[in-house]
Amino acid sequence: MMGLSRRQLTLGALATGASYTALVQHCAAQAATATATRNLPRTHAGKTVKVVWGNTPAYVASAEVAKEFTAASGIQVEFSALPTAERYQKMVLDTTTNTNSFDVYLVAYQWKEQVAPFVVDHANLDKEVAGIPAMNWDDYAPRALAAYSKVGNKLATIPINGDTSFTVWNKDAFKKAGLDPEQGPATWKQLVENGVKLKQGDQFGYNMPAGKTIQTGCVWITLFHSFGGQYFDAAGKPLLDSKASVEAFRFMKEQLGPVSPPGNLTWDFPEMIASVSSAQAAQGYMWAGGVGSLYDPTKSKIAKSIGYAPTPETVLLGGWGLSVGAKSRNLDAAKLFIGWFTSPEIVKQTALVGLSPVRRSALLDPDTNARYPFFPTVLKAMEGNVATYAPIKDAEQVNIQIYDEANAVCSGTKTPEQGAAALQERVTTLLKRRGYIQ
């Protein structure tokens, strides 16, 4: 039998549930010895880079790993950990008012069109600032890189947290219902058929959110594209009263709704993941970034019986990137930071503490796969039939209108046809008001 190194033993122990604090410390130590860190210059020592950041455990842990950047370069990094809505507000106000109080922004890809005019082109950072490792863009799944980062010919962000829509299921519940526990649904029709069989007593067959929340919009968008929908025609006019749109609303109301728990008309992501982890719902819509928490036996009743696969027929991409403000007062220091943070060596360490990577090398790495065995499935999803949010600057407003109408249909205040007609009218009005169409 081949002997295991101390490092392999450490990672093996961490993968089976040892202290998360120990994991963060281990990853920080690995980042400290990485070639990307050893090669950092101290040219910009004494500078401070201010970053709009996330407030979830993975972001907090990644900020701990980033302390090794400060130790090596002498550049202080100040993370402002904010919930999603506040990140968006900070980004918009800071850039559009020319305040420029931050150097780096954490950008949801549906915001990239808005931030693109105010940030640098990140394509050649490694040629612009000494000490930045080779960007190695071929290490990213092409469709994911295009969705997360490209605005025209510009790379407006560098991906740091890639997400794809998944279906998860409780293998034990599948067995009891006479379903193959190793085989997820290949179509939405099959998912509903499974859900009918799984709905027994206090157990439900799906975890559909139907609140006025982005997750409700995500389910609709995934269905809409699975049914052949397109947001706009060649002239940029919306196609949101199409057959695919009506069918997406109808499927949520008439197929997914009856096999989902009551009370879901106010649900967002916390309720979705709680429904699956508590075994209330035996199947569920999930983001790859949330699958890891289902393996925690202290928080999940299905930690030893998780099945997962990309959502049937179409996968919706979610995810985040980093952007350097074009008017940053510490431009080269900021470029050096994100060039280091997004390098393959450091991405592997932040992946181990919970940031879902977009780089192929991290998604296929044996160490990351030992802790997160679903990572290769994330890559498979990214390279498959992918859908995105509306590819316009006002995607966030379109998403709000989608989930408003989906909530109305699911609550029974509108029919699927009425929801689709209202969505078409609202988006058309928005596009005219913002100058997209006449």
Give the model's pLDDT for residue 295.
Answer: 85
Q: Which amino acid is at 207?
A: N
Task: With cut-offs at 50, 70 and 90, classify the pLDDT of residue 85.
Answer: confident
In our burial notation (b when 16+ CB lie closer than 10 A, e otherwise), range 108-126 reads bbbbbbbbbebbbebbebb
Could you report the per-residue pLDDT of 261-271, keeping only the tens digit for each? Answer: 999 999 999 99
- The rounded distance, in Å, linking the Cα atoms of 210 and 314 is 20
- The rounded distance, in Å, linking the Cα atoms of 319 and 420 is 27
Contact (Cβ atoms closer than 8 angstroms) between residue 401 and residue 409: no
Residue 386 has pLDDT above 70, yes or no: yes
Residue 184 has pLDDT above 90, yes or no: yes
Residue listed under structure tokens 């701990």: 64
Q: What percentage of the chain exceeds 70 in pLDDT?
A: 96
Give the model's pLDDT for residue 285.
Answer: 98
Could you report the per-residue pLDDT of 192-225, keeping only the tens digit for each? Answer: 999 999 999 999 999 999 999 999 999 999 999 9
Task: With cut-offs at 50, 70 and 90, classify the pLDDT of residue 56.
Answer: confident
Domains of the chain: 40-156+319-383 (3.40.190.10), 164-316+387-434 (3.40.190.10)
Residue 5 has pLDDT above 70, yes or no: no
Q: How confident is the model over 383-394, as a mean pLDDT?
A: 91
Q: Among 3-7, 76-80, 253-257, which stretch is predicted with the lowest mean pLDDT?
A: 3-7
Contact (Cβ atoms closer than 8 angstroms) between residue 354 and residue 339: no
Residue 417 has pLDDT above 90, yes or no: yes
Q: Among 104-108, 144-148, 427-431, which stretch is predicted with the lowest mean pLDDT?
A: 144-148
Give the model's pLDDT for residue 18.
Answer: 52
Q: How confident is the model over 144-164, as a mean pLDDT?
A: 93
Average pLDDT over the chain, rounded to whole? 93
- The rounded distance, in Å, linking the Cα atoms of 60 and 38 is 23
Q: CA separation (Å) from 269 to 137, 178, 205, 272?
A: 31, 29, 17, 5
β-bridge pairing 154-155 and 386-387: unpaired
Give the model's pLDDT for residue 1.
Answer: 29
Between 260 and 21, the more confident residue is 260
Residue 228 has pLDDT above 60, yes or no: yes
Contact (Cβ atoms closer than 8 angstroms) between residue 131 and residue 117: no
Task: With cut-offs at 50, 70 and 90, classify the pLDDT of residue 13.
Answer: very low
- The rounded distance, in Å, linking the Cα atoms of 410 and 381 is 28
Residue 289 has pLDDT above 80, yes or no: no
Give the model's pLDDT for residue 12.
Answer: 41
Residue 10 has pLDDT above 90, yes or no: no
Could you report the per-residue pLDDT of 112-123, keeping only the tens digit for each? Answer: 999 999 999 999
Residue 399 has pLDDT above 90, yes or no: yes
What six digits make up the tokens of 408? 């109305």
- The rounded distance, in Å, linking the Cα atoms of 285 and 307 is 12
Q: How confident is the model over 36-47, as a mean pLDDT?
A: 98
